[in-house]
Structure 1
């Protein structure tokens, strides 16, 4: 284990890399504007099939799906260009109303799903259900083997000076600072025994944040050894998801709040998984011009990222979106840079 990953990683450099002509990111359209097919499945929450928010696959071929409506999740498999469910949707133990699940990760035989840890977006009222991280095991038929949850991440974030003023319960007053800029976890990945949580908010002076903790300690007790990476993203931008590709973290970046109109892009975060200074590099902007719209005619909002293939020239990524029917799965070929 590399001890440096436990120390706060702070980047003071301006986000000039985003606009540098030398690293100008190209716009990349999906392989096909027609989404992959997804088997229909009856979630208890009415809008769950339009609220895919996290997706991660293990070496066994089983993937875990997080949805931000209700208190259920599901297991799936990729079958060609189709997503098929494995077993029935499962309930997250102990959730009274809504987990607001926003992210998923896989590490070895464990599947992880995390709530947003955020106040309710429309009212800024508290949602204690969302301040949970789950660790699951399953068999090849999608039957839950074990399910554990932890509520320690919230206190760990409150203990980080940069996040302390944003890790506050919702007080139902969106007009008070930090208001809608409170903590909001949207992405997660696992690497080197650590869980990495990527925040959509806050964005502070153009910086986004990734919190990491010891994965085993989060559920079994002991020192979480929390650390914080501060990454220049630009104004009004935040993380939407994380994925690990050949030891390198890839981030899906989009608007940091509902009022912003920032593009969605893929950013490579070299150094994040190895404990050295993070070197962010924007690889591509997702061209969604011909992407399907949601049921009400609104643009889809990319929320989940999964690696399908990689070679020296490209990352082939599956992107699922909130607002699109059954996640509107689209595939993007993202160029790699030296």
Structure 2
């Protein structure tokens, strides 16, 4: 009898292992370990070329680049396997020191760039410059047509009960709860007249958050209709970017803070753009084993994704990283799942 029970237990454990293996998350290496070429450009901030943090392209082929150093951004185009600048870097109006731009999106004729809305990570001191979202238009030569900004998102996040404890000013006291778990925007996407802001922090009991508001109202007045999506990510994980293409929302997920070890993965956020409860589906882990190292020999940190191609079997994504020379652009083919 004991022998039979042991056989049954062994069979059950084997079946469970096979089942988990069958659904193991695939590790995807880049198409090529050699990054795309990027035209050199002189930003005012010395480290800007190593701090690519947001990238989004419109149907016209114009892309907007956000960098988290200084107070400039730039327009680019994809030319084969090369990123070329369009015009000169532009300056965000009204920023005194640093926007800490972390996210970019394109919708129709508008380009959007968002500051992190975060306190400074090392000191927990305030950075009011970062609590801005910009809306821009530009011609095909990269000349700015219009530029306006809004500071209403901060109050909208403070109005949401789940985020209110974490939307506190940075007061240079990292020991003050919730300390380094304060709000930190890292990704942005646009769909159906709304802007979606993906947060690196806070992570609350394994949950990450995406805030959405009415895009027009954010800049032109009226009800923002703020909404919050709670997404199960796991402990010490947060959103690092968000891309929305043809109604499909893809998130780059990584460590929620600088100290927590965690892989970078691509997660499909089903239901995000339709207003129903979000069902996250992890598609793949980004394998950086053979990726180029940063200038100081450290691993690059993926910060931005853009959808290059979308077909029934895969998402072909361009991934830009912080710490890599000129974003170290790499392409990953991410499998789609039913």
Give TM-score scaled by structure 2 length: 0.94
User: What's 2:214 paired with?
Assistant: 214
Change (3 A) 1:258 1:283: same
Partners of 1:30 and 1:174 in 2: CA distance: 38
Instruction: Determine which structure has the larger helix proportion and give its number.
Output: 2
More RCO (CA 8 Å, sep 6+): 1
Residue correspondence of structure 1 range 48-197 to structure 2 within 5 A: 48-197=48-197
The root-mean-square deviation of aligned C-alpha atoms, in Å, is 1.0
Q: Deviations over 1:162-211 (max 9, x none)?
A: 00010001010112211110000000000000000000000000000000
Cα distance in 1 for residues equivalent to 2:115 and 2:259: 22
Structure 1: distance between partners of 2:159 and 2:310: 37
Cα deviations across residues 291-322 of structure 1 (Å, max 9, x unaligned)? 01110011100000000001111000000000
Structure 2 SS opposite 1:257? coil
1:119 to partner: Cα distance = 0.2
Aligned pair count reads 320
Q: CA deviation at 1:35?
A: 0.3
Q: Is the 8 A contact 1:205 1:235 kept in 2?
A: yes
Unpaired stretches in structure 1, ≥5 consecutive residues: 1-18
Q: Is the 8 A contact 1:56 1:306 kept in 2?
A: yes
Which residue in the other structure is 1:260 paired with?
A: 260
Q: Which residue in the other structure is 2:284 paired with?
A: 284
Any conservation in 2 of the 1:23–1:282 contact (CA below 8 Å)?
Answer: no
- Once residues 70 and 22 of structure 1 are traced to their aligned partners in structure 2, the CA distance between those partners, rounded to angstroms, is 46
Following the alignment from structure 1 to structure 2, what is the Cα–Cα distance between the partners of residues 310 and 193?
Answer: 22
1:223 CA displacement: 0.1
Which residue does 2:297 correspond to in 1?
Answer: 297
Instruction: Identify the residue that residue 13 of structure 1 maps to in structure 2.
Output: none
Structure 1 residues 79-126: Cα deviation after superposition (integer angstroms, max 9, x where no partner) = 000000000000000000000000000000000000000000110000
- 1:14-25 aligned within 5 A: 23-25=23-25
**Other-structure match for 2:10:** none
Correspondence 1:241 to 2:226: no
Distance 1:336 1:68 in 2: 31
Q: Distance in 1 between matches of 2:199 and 2:206?
A: 13
C-alpha displacement of 1:23 = 3.7
User: For residues 23 and 245 of structure 2, what CA distance do their matches in structure 1 show?
Assistant: 20
> Are the equivalent residues in 2 in contact too, given 1:72–1:92 (CA < 8 A)?
yes
**1:274 corresponding residue in structure 2:** 274
SS at match of 2:164: coil
Task: Show the counterpart of 1:328.
Answer: 328
Q: Please give the secondary structure, in 1, of the residue aligned with 2:177.
A: coil
Deviation at residue 25 of structure 1 after TM alignment: 1.3
Q: CA deviation at 1:248?
A: 1.2
Greater Rg over alpha carbons, structure: 2
Deviation at 1:246, TM superposition (A): 2.6
Partner of 1:31: 31
Moved over 6 A (4+): none
TM-fit CA distance, 1:24:
2.4
Q: Tell me, what secondary structure is at the counterpart of 1:273?
A: helix
Alignment partner, residue 251 of structure 1 = 251
Secondary structure, in 3 states, of the residue corresponding to 2:259? coil
In structure 2, stretches of 5+ residues that fail to align are 1-18
Residues in 2 aligned to 1:287 and 1:309: alpha-carbon distance in whole angstroms: 20
